[in-house]
Structure 1
Amino acid sequence: MIPAPQSSDVREASVTEVPARQPLIERPGIRPAGLRQLMQDLGPHYVSNGVIGLIFSASGPIAVTLAVGTAGGLTQGQLASWVFAIFLSAGLATLLMSLLYRQPLGFAWSIPGTVLLGPSLQHLPFAEVVGVFFTSGVLILALGSTGVVRRLMSAIPMPIVMAMVAAVFLRFGTDIVSSTQANLVVAGPMVLAFILLSAVPALGKYLPPVLGTLVVGIAAVALSGQFKLQSASGPIFAAPEFTAPSFTWAAQLELLLPLVLTALVVQNGQGVAVLRAAGHRPPVNSFALATGGFSVLNACFGAVSACVTGPTNSLLTSSGEKHRQYSAAVVYGSLSLVFALFAPLLTRLMLATPEAFVLALGGIAMLKALQQAFVTAFATKFTMGALVTFVVTISGMNLFNIHAAFWGILIGYVSSRLLERADHQVSK
């Protein structure tokens, strides 16, 4: 008997059973943006988002960096070199990736990684810490070259990742309340401006709500006399220094694994989740390769790992049309390069603003991302795994010097596999 011919549906199913091998470096799928295209896509929303992304990076995160470095006994030159390097790599990586993929792919540096360095700098020579910066960058680059990072990101359900993002971002929402209570004169007008511009679309069309919040906040700071520049003197231009690395087993065992996991899983994981929630298709493996390469660059100037961050990308994608949001990343990347050049001067200016201004602005700009994180985490499937992830992450549990967000994803994923087997079977 002659076998019956297969139907087209069966043939198609048999073809799709074996997925095509993905290239190591994801192809853009679209022509890179040129100058003419960029000028067409720029607009008030995107300039606003890029500027606020830079202000966010240059305020609270810089304060954390300076506090950790100062407590660790770093010299002014070493601190200035650190700040120069993190903004240089953030600007270069963001411009390269965003223009190539025509997506808002914002890079910064690892704040959790910076925080975990604090105790280590108390007893390790800075040269040994710099040695870990080099090895962590090389290891991240090696992991990116294997493609394992992309497979790992694909294996974890999005609700679980977004539950981690929601837990990390939650403090930005509560910062709005605490800053308003602590400094009503500055934060109060900012909150009112955001509500007014959001509630009246006719006003928001001409002045984006977050940009209006920024303008009102600057005016409130100036009128209240709370801009306090501690010292007008000091260097203006950055003078990067090279710290010769020292490679010791003690430093490597203490810091290498926490730095790598923080950059790849905690930070890049947040960035990828935020971008996917905004409708983009971030190149996960290219992220890992860029993170490793620019982390090595940072190490040359004595600075912590580069990475893709959730807060920065949530600000870059907070408004506007999806296909034009890459222009916000270009603004952010360009301003980062300017900040790198004038790092000592601009750092003094940013630290002169009251804390309430930074907290209120960052929290208001992050509200949409926080809302999206909760919706994605708890709307449909994997809700128990997402809840466990959220609770563990927000608890601040810190084992083996590794950030709670990593343990949140790990414990949440294992709990989901045990308790939500039906959801995992359906998702296959």
Structure 2
Amino acid sequence: MPGSAVHEHLLERPVRPLAGPRRLLQDAGGVYAANGLIGLVFAATGPVAVILAVGAQGGLSQQELASWIFGAFFLNGVLTVVACWLYRQPLAFFWTIPGTVLVGPALSHLSWPQVVGAFVATGVLVLLLGLSGWVRRAMAVVPMPIVMAMVAGIFLRFGIDLVHALRDDVMIAVPMVLVFLLLSALPSLGRRVPPIIGALVVGAVAVVVSGRFSPAVAGGEWFAAPVLQAPEWSLQAMVELVVPLAITVLVVQNGQGIAVLRSAGHTPPINVATVACGAWSILTAVVGTVSTCLTGPTNALLAASGERSRQYTAGITCGLLAMLFGLFSPLFTSAMLATPPAFIAALGGLALLRVLQASFVAAFSTRFTLGALVTFVVTVADTAVLNVGAAFWGLLAGLAVSGLLERPDFSSGRS
């Protein structure tokens, strides 16, 4: 059938034969288990601090935050395990961090059900783009410098919050920053203890020593009890969030994840990954989790060492550990929320420091620099127009300025 032939060509086929238990045991090993653990620890530290910071800003309850983290880890962990097994390469799926940051300002004038409705709509949009095969064309509509300028604008607040944490809570934030800088400056040591992990450990010790760990503030639940979120359909939420969220999934996160895996010698299934992100975004929205994406940093860690043909077992390990972490999401959430605000602010700021740097470099080092600047300024201004958030208007303003004043950059990009 012509239609089915197109469909088969569109969606990349899994590797045959599928790896059985014996093959999985043969391909597994200490190196891959360690890489899987490191990938999970990375995702479960700074990025989780970003979720908690955004949720606290938006007034979400501890139960809603624990449900968000359950979806981010358990449900996405299931997808990671299946994808790695089917395509026999590291394919870690987690959640869009810039999309998470977008949610914070939106919650100042949108209800949580309205935001969840935008999560569902974003999943539908990404799913349709994946099934249509228009992913590459959709990714090329908005120039990357303008997209990264929007990302830099929404991430800047976390860098500022890091500075404020240093000002407001010296005993907690300063040791975290010093250890992070030390481990970053000594690559041989930083490979053994990743800088963000060192900052987490030292910060936790500082919190305990200062006597400011207050677990009684948070409840005593250990196991996940997902809070099912009924979406509410709001035109304002759709206009403000859906397109920027889809861009962060397809261009920022998936684009980075695909580039990382290709540089490691893998051939990621782009259309299947897009379809999976769309379908899973609809699923995770049910428990209040932001859109699913193919992660860049975690996949880089999974493919950091070992034989390329066996690195998929690192992804399976990471996915299984993520499922375990998600099952205990209330315990981890309550532990993090029992720490001083400066601990989460410092951890989130340090986790996003390199990402913020890369965003600025990508935004202002090549083409569309004026459009990128306009996008950045409008996004940082954080002024809603017609009750629609600044990130959306930043993208439109940057595109308009580049279309008017930087037209040669469009043609040079196509060439």
TM-score scaled by structure 1? 0.74
Q: More deviation in 211-220 or 255-264?
A: 255-264
CA contact (8 A) 1:150 1:285 kept: no
Answer yes or no: is 1:264 the counterpart of 2:246: yes
Aligned counterparts, 1:226-375, within 5 A: 226-231=212-217, 234-240=220-226, 242=228, 251-275=233-257, 280=262, 285-301=271-287, 303-308=288-293, 313-314=296-297, 317=300, 321=304, 333-375=319-361
User: Does the residue aligned with 2:173 lie in a helix, a strand or coil?
Assistant: helix
Residue 42 of structure 1 aligns with which residue? 32
CA distance in 2, matches of 1:358, 1:385: 33
For the residue of structure 1 that corresponds to 2:213, the secondary structure is coil
Post-superposition offset of 1:264: 0.6
8 Å CA contact 2:127, 2:274 repeated in 1: yes
Tell me how far apart the structure 2 counterparts of residues 31 and 401 of structure 1 sit (CA, whole Å): 53
Measure, in 2, the Cα distance between the counterparts of 1:403 and 1:102. 38
Unaligned runs of 5+ residues in structure 2 are: 1-6
CA distance in 2, matches of 1:198, 1:131: 40
SS of the residue aligned with 2:220?
Answer: coil
Structure 2 match to 1:427: 413
Distance change in 2, residues 1:195/1:372 (3 Å): same
- Alignment partners' CA distance in 2, 1:171 and 1:412: 20
CA contact (8 A) 1:93 1:107 kept: no
Tell me if the contact between 1:266 and 1:406 (Cα under 8 Å) persists in the aligned partners.
no
Amino acid at match of 1:321: A
* 2:4 corresponding residue in structure 1: none
Closer/same/farther in 2, CA of residues 114 and 393 from structure 1, 3 Å limit: closer
Contact 1:190 1:360 (8 Å CA) reproduced: yes
Change (3 A) 1:50 1:160: same
Residue in structure 2 matched with residue 9 of structure 1 by the alignment: none
SS in 1 for 2:138: helix
Note closer, same or farther for the CA distance 1:52–1:379 as it changes in structure 2 (3 Å cut): same
Q: Assess if the C-alpha contact under 8 Å between 1:158 and 1:273 holds in 2.
A: no
Higher mean Cα deviation, 183-192 or 389-398? 389-398
Deviation at 1:89, TM superposition (A): 2.7
Q: Give the equivalent residue in structure 2 for 1:102.
A: 89
Amino acid at match of 2:45: I
Q: Is 229-238 or 372-381 further displaced after alignment? A: 229-238
Give the length in aligned residue pairs.
Answer: 394
Deviates most, 414-423 or 394-403: 394-403
The match for 2:199 is: 213
Q: Deviations over 1:104-145 (max 9, x none)?
A: 6442265334753564438xxx5x887776555444423432
Partner of 2:77: 91
Distance in 2 (CA, whole Å) between partners of 1:325 and 1:374 is 31
1:202 to 1:180, Cα distance in 2 relative to 1, 3 A: same
Specify which of 161, 183, 197 is matched with residue 183 of structure 2: 197
- Matching residue's letter, 2:364: F
**Alpha-carbon spacing, 1:240–1:373, altered in 2? closer, same or farther (3 Å):** closer
Give the Cα–Cα distance (whole angstroms) in 1 for the partners of residues 379 and 14 of structure 2. Answer: 33
Structure showing greater radius of gyration is: 1
Verify the 8 A CA contact 1:98 1:330 in the aligned structure 2.
yes
Distance 1:426 1:269, change over 3 A: closer
Cα 1:419–1:329 shift into 2, 3 Å: farther
- Cα distance change of structure 1 residues 358 and 31 upon mapping to structure 2, 3 Å threshold: farther
Equivalent pair of 1:187/1:217 in contact (CA under 8 Å): yes
SS in 2 for 1:102: coil
Counterpart pick for 2:211 among 225, 243, 268: 225
- The superposition leaves residues 351-396 of structure 1 with CA deviations (integer Å, 9 ceiling, x where unpaired) of 1122222222232233322222222222222222222222222222
Q: Percent identity?
A: 39
Residues 177 and 335 (structure 1), Cα distance of their counterparts in 2 relative to 1, 3 Å cut: farther
Change (3 A) 1:132 1:365: closer
Residue 51 of structure 1 deviates from its aligned partner by 0.9
Distance 1:130 1:367 in 2: 28
Task: Confirm or deny: 8 A CA contact 1:103 1:325 kept in the other structure.
Answer: yes
| CA pair 79-373 structure 1, distance change in 2 beyond 3 A | closer
Alignment check: 8 A CA contact 2:122 2:291 kept: no
Computed over aligned residues only, the root mean square deviation of the Cα atoms, in angstroms, reads 4.1
Q: 1:182 aligns with which of 168, 171, 188?
A: 168
Does the C-alpha gap of structure 1 residues 400 and 121 become closer, same or farther in structure 2, counting only changes over 3 Å?
Answer: same
* SS of the residue 1:84 aligns to: helix
Residue matched to 1:13: none
Report the CA distance between 1:153 and its aligned residue. Answer: 0.7
- Measured in 2, the distance between the counterparts of 1:282 and 1:406 equals 30
Q: 1:61 aligns with which of 46, 51, 65?
A: 51
Contact 1:87 1:339 in 2 (8 A): yes
- Give the TM-score normalised by structure 2: 0.76
For 1:374, the aligned partner's letter is F
Cα distance, 1:230 vs structure 2: 2.6
Asked if the contact 2:35/2:304 (under 8 Å) is kept, the reply is no
The residue type paired with residue 73 of structure 2 is F
